[in-house]
Each structure stands twice: as structure tokens, then as C-alpha cells.
Amino acid sequence: MCLMCVSTSWQATAPFLQFGAVGALTLLSPFVFHRFHLAKTRMWMFLAVSAAIFLCPLLIHSPCLIEVQELPEKPKLIGHRGAPMLAPENTMMSFNRSLECGVIAFETDVQLSKDREPFLMHDHRPDFLRRTTNVEEKFIGSSFNNSADLTFEQLQTLNAGEQGLCIIMRQTKETWNYLEKETARKEIIPSLLELLKFAKQHNTSVIFDLKNKETEKNDTNDTVKTILESGIPQNLILWLPSEEREAVKKEAPGFIQVYENETDLEKNNGSHLNVKYSEIKMKNISDLRKRNITVNLYVVNERWLFSMLWCAGASSVTTNACHLLKEMERPDWVMPRSTYLITWILVDISSALVMMALFHW
């Protein structure tokens, strides 16, 4: 587990873990004191551990230790490959379902076919098409490792729904009616153009990765051409690929340039950051937001994590679970720091008094 992930988890749970630890020490103290004369060394060890636990709130910092009126606006939601817990990923059904969550943008992955048509597909190189389509049944004995191995017409003969539906049924508890299942089973691989027209119709932004880094320069040119020909307003395109960024700025100056790390953001005087939640400190999120930098974190599916990022001031999160996060009206917990400090002191004093009474009993 990465250190930043541990830090985030600690900030979410530390205030309550400390209270629990104090309670556990209090309950344990009679047994320690009973053996005081038999094991004085262990007694001092117990006291040292107790002191550390009593004082550890001095080192606890959580973005949710704030006044309720200081709570930032709820982060907006971006659909990660649409709504993959509600429909097969990267299908039009999935993006349509994400709209029901009120997402502000569709996140997807773009590759180019043999005939240079941008289409939506996450997996590439050796797992290309295998996880989410019936390619092994459709092209028996063939092996495809690259998007350029197939024309877009061939790609559209593949079923992109059946296996995705099976994945959802295994991993979630969502219930499906007959019509929804039949709709999902008929899904095919969409083109980028199809998604752009859909996004334009619903005034929703689009952000994507170009998956084939080896051909990213040429892929960038064809992708930008497709975007411009679609007629979607340029300000709805959140441009993430770093290759050929300067050329893209000239050809499509209306695209919103999004950077993948703080270094590139600062270097280019950018205003939009898209970063994995485990690769940025909570304090940095708050500091960037104070400078009016838009900060999107990915991939966020759990309530507790969304709560932490909400308290920190994140602008938006990319999520697989938009249907769950949209229902949250406030973070799982928010506590004024003054209230926490008072509670901490009262709990520690109460525990110390109980321990002293037990020691002299």
C-alpha cells in the first residue's frame, strides 16, 4: 500500500481510532496494575504507550476537522468510462447512465483503428479487446495486440456488452430488469465521434487518454481532427495527452488544457490538474483551490475517500460509482477542530482518572 494512501486513510480514521485506543487502555489498565509488583518494567512500558496514545492528537491533521460553515462545495462527478457499475464500460449505454448521476464530464480512453478512426477502448497491448468483447469468439484463432490490427468496421462487429454485463453482475449487487440486460447485451464499441456528438447534445465535457503511446503523435493529429469536425464546442474538451500539447494549443486554442502533475501545471501556468488521489497531499489540494486551480482526483469510489477529498476542497472526482456518490449530501463526518480538542482532553482526563482510581484501589 502506498504511503499517501496510508496517510489519507489515517486522516479519515485517526480521531476515532485515538478515542478507541484510549478506551482500550482504560479497560486494560486493571490487569496491568494487578501485576504491578510482579512486572514493574512492563508497567513503565504500559505508561509510555498510554502517554503516546494520549498525546497523539497533537499529530493528527484531517481536512474534515473544520467548521461546518467552512465546508467546501461538494466535488462534481466525472464518469470513469461512463458508469461501469451500471452498464458495460466505455459503451454508449454506460455514458447515458452516467448522465443520470449528473456527471459534468465523460472520461474515456481513445485508440485508433487500422483505418484511423478514433474509438473507445481502455485495454491495449496484450489484453486488447479480450476482457470486454467477444473477440476470441468472433475471430477464432486470431491474435490482436494493437488497435491498428482491425478496421473500425471490424471492431463494430464485436459485442461490447455481454462480457461487461457479466463483470458487473459478479462485482456489484445492482439489480437489472430484463430490458436493461437486453440493452446491455447489444452494446458495441463506440467511435469517439459518437461520444462527442452525444456530449455536445447534453453539454457535457469529455476527457480522455490516448492509449497507444508509441503512435501518440499521429494519433493526436487524427483525434484533434475528429473533435473539430464533430462540432462540439472546444471548451467542452478537457485535453489531457501531453504529447504534441503545444501543437494542439495552436490548432484548437479553445481546448481546456489539463495537466497530470503539479510540476507540469506550474511550468505551463495551467489552471486544471488531473491526478491520482494517492499522488497528492490533502493540503496541496486546499492550497491549489485557494489559487483557483481546478483539481480533479481519480479514481474515487468509496464514501470515506470522497468525504476526505470533499473536505479538502477537490473540484471534482473521476468515479466508477457515480450513482452512490451523487446521493451524499455531506461528508461522512465533519467536526470543528475546537470540538475535537475539547473531546480529546476530556476523554484523556477521564481515562487518566479512572486509571489512577484503579491503581490505588
Report d(CA 203, CA 196) in Å as an integer.
10
pLDDT 10s digits, 149-162: 999 999 999 999 99
pLDDT of residue 72: 98
At residue 33 the predicted structure's pLDDT band, cuts being 50, 70 and 90, is: low
Question: At residue 208, what are phi and psi to the nearest 5 degrees?
Answer: -150, 160
pLDDT 10s digits, 99-125: 999 999 999 999 999 999 999 999 988
The distance from CA 194 to its chain's CA centroid, rounded to whole angstroms, is: 25
Please say if the pLDDT value at position 36 is more than 60: no
pLDDT of residue 65: 95
At residue 41 the predicted structure's pLDDT band, cuts being 50, 70 and 90, is: low
Closest to 208 (Cα-Cα) out of 93, 317, 121, 86? 121
Query: What's the average model confidence in pLDDT over 324-328?
Result: 98
pLDDT of residue 32: 62
pLDDT of residue 175: 75
pLDDT of residue 143: 78
pLDDT of residue 171: 80
Mean pLDDT of the chain: 91
Report d(CA 98, CA 82) in Å as an integer.
5
Contact between 150 and 142 under an 8 Å Cβ cutoff? The reply is: no
Q: What is the DSSP string of 322-360?
A: HHHHTT-SS-S----HHHHHHHHHHHHHHHHHHHHHHHH
Place of cell 452494446: 187
Closest to 297 (Cα-Cα) out of 346, 260, 349, 327? 260
Contact between 167 and 138 under an 8 Å Cβ cutoff? The reply is: no
Ranges 112-126, 174-188, 220-234, 275-289: which has the least confidence: 174-188
Predicted TM-score (pTM) of this structure: 0.89
Closest to 268 (Cα-Cα) out of 287, 242, 292? 242
pLDDT 10s digits, 249-285: 999 999 999 999 999 999 999 999 999 999 999 999 9
The identity of residue 166, as a single letter, is C
